[in-house]
Amino acid sequence: MKKNMGSADRIIRFLLAAAVLILFFTDVISGTLAIVLLAVAGIFVLTSFVSFCPLYAPFGLSTCKVKPKTEG
């Protein structure tokens, strides 16, 4: 599994997941919406930890910085 998420992408996903958790625990969101958003937040946390987004792969997207190859 090749990494396809950069640092900024990982941080944004983690912050969005944290925001959903805060909204849930302060009872701003509830019911079906809360369950759906918590599932998405869990996916965001998981993908940010492994630096791989399965939705990026089929489209060839990557937010990782490309390291230049050194000749030698």
The 10s digit of each residue's pLDDT in 34-45 is 999 999 999 999
Query: Can you give the residue ranges of every domain in the chain?
Result: 1-30+52-59
What is the distance between the alpha carbons of residues 35 and 38, in angstroms, rounded to a whole number? 5
The 10s digit of each residue's pLDDT in 36-70 is 999 999 999 999 999 988 888 888 888 888 666 66
- For the residues 5-31, what does the mean pLDDT come to? 95
User: Residue 32 is which amino acid?
Assistant: T
Question: Can you tell me whether residue 5 is helix, strand or coil?
Answer: coil
Q: Name the pLDDT band for 17 (thresholds 50, 70, 90).
A: very high
**Structure-token pair, residue 52:** 């791989």
